[in-house]
Amino acid sequence: MTLFDRAYALFEEQQRARGIDLEQVKAKLKALKVETPSWGYGDSGTRFKVFQQAGVPRNPFEKFEDAAQVHKLTGICPSVAIHIPWDKVDDYAQLKKHAADLGVSIGAVNPNLFQEDEYIFGSVTNSNPAVRRKATEHLLECVEIAKTVGSDVLSLWFADGSNYPGQVDIRKRKAWMYEALSEMYQAMTPQMRMLIEYKFFEPAFYHTDLADWGMAFNMANKLGPQAEVLVDTGHHAQGTNVEHIVAYLLDEKKLGGFHFNSRKYADDDMIVGSHNPYELFLIFYQILDAAADEDSGVRKTAENIAYMIDQSHNIEPKIPAMIRSVLNVQTQYAKALLINRDQVREAQERQDVLDAENAVREAYEIDVTPLLLAVREEMGVPADPMKAYKESGYADSILPRGKGGASW
């Protein structure tokens, strides 16, 4: 018996004693899918400076080549989100085929309504009807792109807002937002979902048109069942209980997806789980608890969440940074799968605060390395994806691309 076999045998024995069915846990780990973003592979950074790196993709096709490496090494990243016009091409069918040839697919389509000069005072909420029309036409363009590439998710974030009291008519802008999203909603196929993101500040500093989960939730409710809320883990004020928001949206059957990243102060867009991994673990706890709910609607919502990375790798090399984020998501998901929910509920019913908290924290403190190694072996991917990438030679192979690649 190898050292690994002994370690896994001991892990298996310990989890069996805790009442955990490891075969079910492994099946769920293998089923986990995390979408990576095309823009995470390109030159990106803060609003102050973009530090260009050698080997960065020069076009969307090369972005997919890099993303395919992440999927090859982790086995859980089969789709890649695109951002329009950052990933605009003449032939989207060709891009779709290129992705398929690499073993991945095109995932969520993200409109960009925050970089053109006309949007200085807003896009779909601009007081100028011509600008609002241009923005709405872009939303409709993205629906058509989604149809062409076979995507069923449209992920929306708006920078629209204002910097000073009196600058805009907030209530009119609310109506204009609904008007644009309603037109987009009507253009969607029955299979598509609209995921509405929110952000409480930046780049607007007085008010943002979709500032929090409640505003996104209300908009999604008004639009209909194909509209849901997207939670970006970096888009909250300090101290916000994100897992509470997750639980609430799950219960309302309106949680559509995540943009995973990490933050220390604001929307810092750093590697997932790098600053508060416990929060990520607790988010998955709420999701897995809902996935076992007696309410079929809540259960279906929990099982249909789009997990997506949304990061700006400013100083990190792009591909290994993405691999690290994906592995951090996988690790916290694995830990959450080890929570004995029966034990938690029994303590809750007894109103035993410490036993209930301990039943959750106990799973977080478990070293899941033996479990992840076993799962990766069974999936046919490297035991250590980070090490495998360093040894693959891929980083050197893309250096001829030079500097000055595609940026966001």
Q: What is the pLDDT of residues 288-338, one digit of tens each?
A: 999 999 999 999 999 999 999 999 888 999 999 999 999 999 999 999 999
Q: Would residue 124 count as lying in a domain?
A: no
Describe the crossing of helices 60-74 and 318-337 by its angle, rounded to 10 degrees. 40
Q: Would residue 143 count as lying in a domain?
A: no
Q: Name the residue with higher pLDDT: 145 or 7.
A: 145
Residue given tokens 């007085």 in the structure block:
206
What percent of the chain stands above pLDDT 70?
99
Q: Count how many domains the chain has.
A: 1
Q: Would residue 164 count as lying in a domain?
A: no
Q: Would residue 92 count as lying in a domain?
A: yes
Is a pLDDT exceeding 70 seen at residue 407? no
For 335-385, write each residue's pLDDT tens digit.
999 999 999 999 999 999 999 999 999 999 999 999 999 999 999 999 999
The stretch 202-213 carries a mean pLDDT of 97
C-alpha dist (Å) from residue 205 to 115, 164, 240, 259: 17, 8, 18, 22
Domain that holds residue 314: 3-112+233-401
Q: Would residue 408 count as lying in a domain?
A: no
Is a pLDDT exceeding 70 seen at residue 396? yes
Is a pLDDT exceeding 80 seen at residue 406? no
Q: Would residue 223 count as lying in a domain?
A: no
Do residues 41 and 66 make contact, with C-beta atoms less than 8 angstroms apart?
yes
Pairing between β-strand 255-260 and β-strand 207-208 as defined by DSSP bridges: unpaired
C-alpha dist (Å) from residue 251 to 113, 228, 256, 347: 31, 13, 12, 22
Residue 125 in tokens: 């909420």
Is a pLDDT exceeding 90 seen at residue 387? yes
Pairing between β-strand 161-162 and β-strand 207-208 as defined by DSSP bridges: antiparallel
CATH number at residue 326: 3.20.20.150
Predicted pLDDT of residue 408? 59
Q: Would residue 155 count as lying in a domain?
A: no
Full-model pTM: 0.97
Q: Fill in the DSSP letter of residue 118.
A: G
What percent of the chain stands above pLDDT 90?
93
Is a pLDDT exceeding 90 seen at residue 280? yes
CB within 8 Å of 183: residues ≥ 6 apart: 136, 139, 140
Is a pLDDT exceeding 70 seen at residue 64? yes
The stretch 149-164 carries a mean pLDDT of 98
DSSP states of 298-342: HHHHHHT-EEEE----SSS-HHHHHHHHHHHHHHHHHHHHT--HH
Q: Would residue 133 count as lying in a domain?
A: no
Is a pLDDT exceeding 90 seen at residue 46? no
CB within 8 Å of 79: residues ≥ 6 apart: 33, 35, 36, 104, 105, 106, 107, 108
Per the prediction, the chain carries an average pLDDT of 96
